[in-house]
Amino acid sequence: MHDKSIPFEATIRWIKKETRDTATYALKINSREIQRTYTFKPGQFNMLYIPGIGEAPISISSSPTDHEIMHTIRIAGDVTTYISRLNAGDVIGVRGPFGSNWPLEEIEDRDLMIIAGGVGIAPLRSVIRHILMSGRRKKPTSRAPIGRKFILYGAKTPKDMIFRDEFPRYMDAFQVFLTVDKADPEEYWRGEVGLITGLLNKVSFNPLNTVVFMCGPEVMMQGMTKEMILRGVPGEKIFISMERNMNCGMGVCGHCMFGPKFVCKDGPVFRFTDIEGFLGIKEI
């Protein structure tokens, strides 16, 4: 195993601009040795490091079966701003992978509902791609999950929708429902306008047989969880990915604490019932 407290070098292979403030960066690890030992699961994150600027925790948006490690990054702070100015061929530091993952074993014979808000779709794209790829494989041992699958995605405007060009492909395996807070009058928009909770009325699903993977703004996740539970989805089957100030990634710096949980080590993906008691408490 490589040392997770020291960054290793990775080269940006290509950059794909997703929206005005978000882009996907494909990384290749420079060291062959680390390439061999580096494995991750969908839902985990890396600490991206720019010497002289700092580190930022960024979830991995590619599937473990992809050839490159992808990160979909929205410009938010110093590190992400700096990264947005980099070009293909530039080298950055990476530590990881850290944290818990989406429990893929939960969805084998169940329906899956993926709910994302804004850039929160990045860690979920890892699951989406994983499912799309495993469905294509011929081996009977790695058959695709058999349940029905839904994607519910909300963004500010159609222009802020990340991976919009990939949604047609997602429709091979998923029923996709999109909504925006505000539709652009200049642009043709066929999806919904309004809160993401409104999309639930369009989806016909069996709540007792559904597993939910959710990532987005905390307010959205709280509202959505409440709505799902009202409709009968068991709290144990709702998984949410949290965001906090991750600094070390290993549970030794204390910054990301959320109640008794270290978001970097016990999370970022939590079973809803494990953190239920702390979700509504202000400034916990």
Q: How far apart are CA 239 and CA 212, in angstroms?
A: 6
Residue span binding other proteins (CB under 8 A) among the ranges 21-29, 33-41, 87-95, 150-158: 87-95
- The CA angle 199-233-214, to the nearest 5 degrees, is 60
- 164 vs 244, which CB is nearer to other proteins? 244
Residue labelled with tokens 């539709």: 183
Q: How far apart are CA 107 and CA 145, in angstroms?
A: 7
Please check whether residue 59 is in contact with residue 241, taking contact to mean a CB–CB distance below 8 angstroms: yes
Please check whether residue 262 is in contact with residue 256, taking contact to mean a CB–CB distance below 8 angstroms: yes
The residue within the footprint of other proteins, chosen from 26, 73, 83, 92 (CB under 8 A), is: 92
Assess 219 for contact with other proteins (CB under 8 A).
no
The residue within the footprint of other proteins, chosen from 184, 230, 252, 273 (CB under 8 A), is: 252
Residue span binding other proteins (CB under 8 A) among the ranges 5-13, 60-68, 124-132, 206-214: 5-13
Please check whether residue 51 is in contact with residue 43, taking contact to mean a CB–CB distance below 8 angstroms: no
Residue span binding other proteins (CB under 8 A) among the ranges 85-93, 131-139, 204-212, 220-228: 85-93
Residue span binding other proteins (CB under 8 A) among the ranges 132-140, 168-176, 187-195, 250-258: 250-258
Assess 53 for contact with other proteins (CB under 8 A).
yes
* Segment holding 13, helix H or strand E: strand 8-17
Beta-carbon count within 10 A of 201 CB: 8
List the one residue out of 51, 59, 41 whose CA is nearest residue 82.
Answer: 51
- 55 vs 192, which CB is nearer to other proteins? 55
Assess 250 for contact with other proteins (CB under 8 A).
yes
The residue within the footprint of other proteins, chosen from 34, 183, 203, 257 (CB under 8 A), is: 257
Q: How far apart are CA 114 and CA 120, in angstroms?
A: 11
Assess 255 for contact with other proteins (CB under 8 A).
yes
List contacts with other proteins (CB under 8 A). 4-7, 9, 30, 51-55, 76-77, 80, 91-93, 243-245, 247-248, 250-255, 257, 259-260, 262, 265, 277, 281-284
